[in-house]
């Protein structure tokens, strides 16, 4: 009987701790705003790759590149505009 009472009290306490509206976070949402970039070029190993991206709210724009084993540089440029989804364009060049 004592274990049942403790269990019921624990369940009641957990129910009271839940948010009144589970679909809205307790803190106001603020749109993301950032930009970053990095690059690696190591002549000894042949590694050459990098990435840059900028975001303001729901709009994101960026590109990344990598040196392929056949000597071509592959570049992917992309955008994300709200609910339109991820749109990418892939290109190749013969420069290192």
**pTM of the complete model:** 0.65
Q: What is the pLDDT of residues 8-32, one digit of tens each?
A: 667 666 666 655 566 766 666 778 8
Domain boundaries, the chain: 25-93
Beta partners for 66? 49, 74
């Amino acid at each position: 009987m004592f274990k049942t009472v403790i269990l019921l009290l624990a369940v009641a306490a957990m129910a009271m701790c839940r948010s009144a509206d589970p679909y809205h976070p307790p803190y106001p949402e603020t749109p993301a705003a950032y930009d970053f970039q990095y690059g690696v070029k190591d002549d000894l190993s042949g590694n050459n790759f990098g990435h840059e991206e900028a975001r303001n709210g729901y709009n994101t724009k960026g590109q990344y590149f990598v040196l392929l084993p056949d000597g071509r540089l592959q570049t992917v440029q992309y955008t994300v505009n709200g609910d339109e989804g991820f749109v990418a364009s892939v290109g190749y060049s013969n420069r290192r």
